[in-house]
Amino acid sequence: MGLRHALTVLAEQWDDIRDRLSAEDVAEVRALVEEFAREGDRAASEEIAEEIADLLRDLLPGDHPFLAALRGREERLAPDRARRAADLAAWFRLAEPLRARLVGADPPPTADEVERAAAERLLAVPALGADELRAGGQDPGDPDLIRLDAADGSVRWPDFQFAPDGSVPPVVRTVNRILDASGDPFGAADWWLGANGWLGAVPARLIGSVPDERLIAAARAEAEV
C-alpha cells in the first residue's frame, strides 16, 4: 500500500474527509494520528498508519483520492545507509502536517456550541405538537410535561412522556418535577434520553419495564448532584 502518499493526502484533504465521517469516526482518526505523531519507531508507526488506512477504507468511497493513494505502490527503504536515513526522516516528517491539520485544525467547541448541539439533538427526537397533545386529552400548559421551544418558534413535547392512549404515566410527572422540567426542560429531556450509568440504560426506554421507584431514585440522584 502507498501509506506515505496516503497520509500526505489525508493531511491535504482532511476537510473533505472529515465532512464524510461521523463525530465518533473523526475522534478515532484524530486519536490514531496523535498516536502516530508520538511514535518514534518506524515499524510501530507504520502499524498505526495501517490502522488509519483500515478505518478510512471502510468509510470513504472507492474513488476517493486517499484510497487511490493507498492503492499505490509503497516505496521500500533504500538499501544504502544514507538513503535509508533520508527515507526514514521523510516518513517521520509526515507526523507534523498530520498533527497540525487533524488534531490542531479545529478549536474545541465553545460552551454555546455544545449547548446548541445538545438542543438540536433533543429537538430532533419524536415529539407531539400542541394539537396532538390536546387530542390526547393533555394540556399544553401542564408544567409537569417537558416542553421544548425551538429557535424557529415551534414547540414540541417529546413523545416518550405519553402512553399509547395519550395519558401521562405518573412516574413521568414525578420525575419531571424532580428534574424541574418547567424550569430546565432541555436538561430534563437530556436526562430522560441520554445513557444513564446509575440505571445502565436510557431512562425513557425503561418506563413501564422497571419499577417506578428505580426511575424516581435515579432522578433524585441526578437532582442532588
pLDDT digits (tens, 9 = 90+) for 160-192: 999 999 999 999 999 999 999 999 999 899 899
Q: What is the mean pLDDT of residues 26-55?
A: 80
Which residue has better confidence, 147 or 14?
Answer: 147
With a pLDDT cut of 70, the percent of the chain lying above it is: 79
Q: What is the 3-state secondary structure (H, E, C) of the chain?
A: CCHHHHHHHHHHCHHHHHHCCCHHHHHHHHHHHHHHHHCCCHHHHHHHHHHHHHHHHCCCCCCCHHHHHHCCCCCCCCCCHHHHHHHHHHHHCCHHHHHHHHHCCCCCCCHHHHHHHHHHHHHCCCEECHHHHHHCCCCCCCCCCCCEECCCCCEEEEHHHCCCCCCCCHHHHHHHHHCCCCCCHHHHHHHHHCCECCCCECHHHHCCCCCHHHHHHHHHHHHHC
The pTM assigned to this predicted structure is 0.55
Instruction: State the pLDDT at residue 105.
Output: 47
Q: Taking the domains of the chain in order of start, what are their residue ranges?
A: 3-103, 111-224
pLDDT digits (tens, 9 = 90+) for 196-224: 878 888 899 999 999 999 999 999 988 87
